[in-house]
Structure 1
Amino acid sequence: MVKLFPPNSRTEFIDLVCAGMSIDRAARRVGAAGATGTAWWSQSGQMSINMGMHGGLVDPAPDVDIAGDWTLTAFDRGMIQMGRRSGLSYAAIGKSIGRNKSVVWREVNRNMGADGVYYASAAHTKAHQARHRPKPLKLALNEPLCSLIAVWMYDGWSPKLISSMLAFYCPEDETMQVSHETIYQALYVQTRGSLRADLAEKLSLKRKKRVSHSADRHKNSPYKEALKISDRPPEIADRAIPGHWEGDLIIGCDGTAIGTLVERSTRFVILLHLPGDHSADTVAAAMIREMGKLPEHLRRSVTWDRGTELAEYAQIQTALDLTLYFCDPHSPWQRGSNENTNRLLRFWFEKGSDLSTHTPDDLQRVAAKLNRRPRPTLNLETPAYRLNQLLLEAKTPALP
């Protein structure tokens, strides 16, 4: 007699394995035998795994997305899975996550299991693992390209000029195109050395090593004395305690901007109206005004990027009695929740648009829409519901 399982059993099993659980334990969790779990994984997981009670994926995807505007997040893939199970078209699914239908089509066809089903957690894990695989070096096996670069460098051409001329002369041949950064790495980084070391002497500044362009800027940075993200206590990283926020700006045309704040445990969103500019004084005033409406236990810390708009962070810390932490330079993924939320907000606030046309009431309406949106990361509960639960718990007196 063949045992029948609920329709979501296999999906739950795949999710558990992709989260790091062994096949045997994940199978038992959903009420299946280990052999059944092995068969499910071979049909849908498509990734190598260590077997046994203490086995599992060697490299599961992290909880926080390392993503930019061009990559799909765990949330995106969850929406694709939900859309596929609901019978939605690729166009409808793409619209729900702000992507073209072709992106959704490629994602589904690239990650379709042998059982004909798309599993979001398996697709996200494979994408994470693919990012860590070593990529072949562009100059390593391309003698014609290396020779041409050497000729031009002997004539005193800079890597930037060489890169531009390669794109001009060889627009249809990607094998003969390379960025100036790749040329610099091939000259200065031993593990990427594909060009002769003596060519570095042909650079106009003749440095023995490359100097970071940010060196002088860091010297005068307003954040030299500020707390870094590495200083945050573990309770913030694991989202165990509410009241810790991530923030950034959404930038429009002509210097217009909107401030965004996301609570890490509930994903609740607050939007900051920034009329006229996004100077440090304007942003500080908006943060103090909006976050001041929160109870003290829901404003413990804020993690922000190192933009100059938060140069008045000491004033914000004093007024709100919270701690501000700053990400490492050029590391937006360290505010994963905020980055994902900002991308969702682009549905209403398009890139290149004039963001000053949105009134405070407009921002409140958009924030309310996003806070009432079910989130897979919250077991399809809404940020508004989660935050309301926290507020109710705070008002409920403790039992004697």
Structure 2
Amino acid sequence: MAQGMSNSAACREVGINRKSGNRRRYGRKVVDRAGNVRVYLPITEVRESDALSERFLSENERIVIASLLRTGYSLRSIARELARAPATISREVRRNRDPRTGKCHPFQAQHRASVRRARSKEGKIRRDPELKEFIQQRLDLRWSPEQICQALRTAFPDELDRHLAHETIYQAVYLPHRGGLERAAGTLRTGRPARRSRRRAAQRATRFIDPGMLISHRLPEVDDRAVAGHWEGDLIVGTANRSTIGTLVDRTTRCVKLLHLPGSHSAENARDALLHAFTDLPAGLAHSLTWDQGSEMSRHDEFTRATGIPVYVCEPASPWQRGSNENTNGLLRQYFPKRTNLSIFSAEGLAFVAAELNSRPRRILGWQTPANLFANLVATLE
């Protein structure tokens, strides 16, 4: 096991039962016929002082699991109680329960988990030179890990130990000291030097949003596009995210306004640009604004106090809730291609682009132009 074998593989190697291996691994107590007790220490040293990530179950959580199981809770109920995935609880019960009785003893389970973490972390790919060479050759040909995993099943149909999950290859690439795979600049399509951590769902909402601002609280008249003056907004970004242009589109007329954001797209600059854009609008054509959850809108309350226009935000990762604006941003890429330095465009240049876009006839408007529709509405309000 010090060489990285699992308990089952080590037991097969030395020719003993897997349960016997478990007893030696975690320590055991033997009582002879005379009633004498002999305690054998575990063969693996456990380092209890290592700091563990929150993604691992703690000893306190294992105590709760054991207690709730005795009470009769289901695995899903326990998962809800601990705010964990049901699969996490199921795996914990399956792997760390007592192998003889099938019951969960929290301190024994904690010990089992600690010993399992403490064993050698050398990866399966490093231990198998032929497997490593097979994977490395295909990585050099720019195959994806998922494609390689499918090829392994074809190349080694009867060798189940060589059938990998693509996550195993990703870990071997990002942790070469464990996996042993070499990674050049174009090995993986992302080209990242390290893995990008994923935020949990509770971390995605920005701190400046309160429940009353969510798009679900928007008036019903906004959804049917019957009333003009409800705007959607966003930013398009230039090369290396260092330059931006703000975009506004009216949901009814599809009239476009572009915000000049020289220097940066900070919350202060975005607020000032929005105030300037809405200053010239008649009150009847400025009812609401819908944006995404970008930090540039963190001063939305100051914009609302100054104009009386409420700001609504979309749910995370839901650009379709601003469909008109997303479509408009796609049209604007004809003028502002990706990986372009957008700071070279002046306010006059942006106004020219907006005017040209608003003068295009649109099928969704019955082949009328946004400029004509918007001008007619302004005339009726005067």
Normalized against structure 2, the TM-score is what? Answer: 0.50
Question: Are residues 1:222 and 2:189 paired?
Answer: no
Residue 316 (structure 1) aligns with: 303
The 5 Å alignment of 1:122-161 reads 155=123
Which region of structure 1 is more displaced relative to structure 2, 170-179 or 237-246? 170-179
- Give the AA of the match of 1:381: Q
Question: Are residues 1:381 and 2:368 paired?
Answer: yes
Question: Are residues 1:168 and 2:155 paired?
Answer: no
Higher relative contact order (CA 8 A, sep 6+): 1
- Give the AA of the match of 1:168: L
Unaligned 5+ residue runs, structure 2? Answer: 1-120, 126-131, 151-162, 173-196
Residue 298 (structure 1) aligns with: 285
- Contact 1:260 / 1:342 at 8 angstroms: preserved in 2? yes
CA pair 328-171 structure 1, distance change in 2 beyond 3 A: same
Unaligned 5+ residue runs, structure 1? Answer: 1-152, 180-193, 204-210, 396-400
SS of the equivalent of 2:252 reads coil
Residue 343 (structure 1) aligns with: 330
Q: 1: CA distance between counterparts of 2:220 and 2:325?
A: 19
Deviation readout 1:165-187 (Å, 9 max, x if unpaired)? 796166468972579xxxxxxxx
Q: How many correspondences in the alignment? A: 213
Question: Match for 2:319 among 318, 329, 332?
Answer: 332
Residue 265 (structure 1) aligns with: 252
- Contact 1:372 / 1:383 at 8 angstroms: preserved in 2? yes
- Contact 2:205 / 2:293 at 8 angstroms: preserved in 1? no
How much does 1:236 deviate? Answer: 0.4
Residue 59 (structure 1) aligns with: none
CA pair 169-360 structure 1, distance change in 2 beyond 3 A: closer
CA pair 165-318 structure 1, distance change in 2 beyond 3 A: farther
Which region of structure 1 is more displaced relative to structure 2, 325-334 or 214-223? 214-223
- Give the AA of the match of 1:303: T
Residue 347 (structure 2) aligns with: 360
Q: What's the % identity of the aligned pairs?
A: 39
Residue 262 (structure 2) aligns with: 275
Deviation readout 1:41-87 (Å, 9 max, x if unpaired)? xxxxxxxxxxxxxxxxxxxxxxxxxxxxxxxxxxxxxxxxxxxxxxx
Deviation readout 1:311-346 (Å, 9 max, x if unpaired)? 111011111111111011111111111011111111
Question: Match for 2:235 among 241, 249, 270?
Answer: 249
How much does 1:287 deviate? Answer: 0.2
Deviation readout 1:15-65 (Å, 9 max, x if unpaired)? xxxxxxxxxxxxxxxxxxxxxxxxxxxxxxxxxxxxxxxxxxxxxxxxxxx
The higher radius of gyration belongs to 2
CA pair 212-253 structure 1, distance change in 2 beyond 3 A: closer
CA pair 229-248 structure 1, distance change in 2 beyond 3 A: same
